[in-house]
């Protein structure tokens, strides 16, 4: 069984993906970390993020054993990942790994931008998680502060709006809800309420 979770940055899809995977005993993959890992390698090598061929080569040889690196969660990697994720060769290189991950038994939860539309269109359950840009910026701001990183709320809000525009307008696997996905707006929900709502949607689709 595959649970596909899509949505924009800081909508809460990652937290929901992890909690749902724990609830059902499924494997969990935050697919955004794959793109962040590619960006990290490029930045460490001094490669330009506009170099599509270099990005594709890194993606083809990506070591996925270090996706727990705290550095991947930073704002720098988020912005860089948003750029390289628009490159079709990069997405092609990472697609096979994501699909293989989703084939695990008894099931898997994958969250990202195009899971229900491109990566696992056959998923039994598809959720699209969203929230207002202002609320997502507030959450990201608090997250960064907890990690000891300094960032202005207004800067984060501008970044989120820019990333939304880039993700939704790109020609390659744009961010959008699958036609058969169920949408959950988490703007006014805390983590526990969002989980309960998501779990109810999952059970509804499974039935």
Sequence ranges of the binding site for ATP: 7-15
- Known binding residues: 7-15
Per-residue b/e over 29-58, b at no fewer than 16 CB within 10 Å? bbbbbbbbbbbbbbeeeebebeeeebbbbb
Report the relative pairing of strands 125-130 and 2-6 from DSSP bridges: parallel
């Amino acid at each position: 069984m595959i649970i596909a979770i899509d949505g924009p940055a800081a909508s809460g899809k990652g937290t929901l993906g992890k909690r749902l995977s724990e609830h059902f005993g499924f494997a969990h993959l935050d697919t955004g970390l794959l793109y962040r890992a590619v960006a990290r390698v490029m930045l460490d090598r001094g490669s330009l993020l506009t170099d599509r061929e270099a990005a594709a080569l890194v993606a083809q040889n990506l070591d996925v054993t270090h996706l727990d690196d705290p550095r991947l969660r930073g704002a720098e990697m988020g912005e860089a990942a948003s750029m390289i994720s628009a490159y079709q060769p990069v997405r092609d290189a990472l697609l096979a790994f994501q699909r293989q991950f989703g084939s695990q038994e008894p099931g898997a939860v994958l969250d990202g931008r195009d899971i229900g539309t491109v990566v696992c269109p056959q998923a039994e359950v598809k959720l699209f998680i969203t929230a207002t840009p202002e609320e997502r910026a507030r959450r990201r701001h608090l997250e960064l502060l907890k990690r000891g990183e300094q960032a202005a709320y207004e800067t984060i809000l501008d970044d989120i709006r820019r990333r939304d525009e880039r993700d939704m307008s790109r020609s390659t696997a744009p961010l959008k809800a699958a036609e058969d996905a169920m949408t959950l707006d988490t703007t006014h929900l805390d983590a526990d309420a969002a989980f309960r709502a998501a779990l109810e949607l999952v059970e509804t689709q499974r039935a």
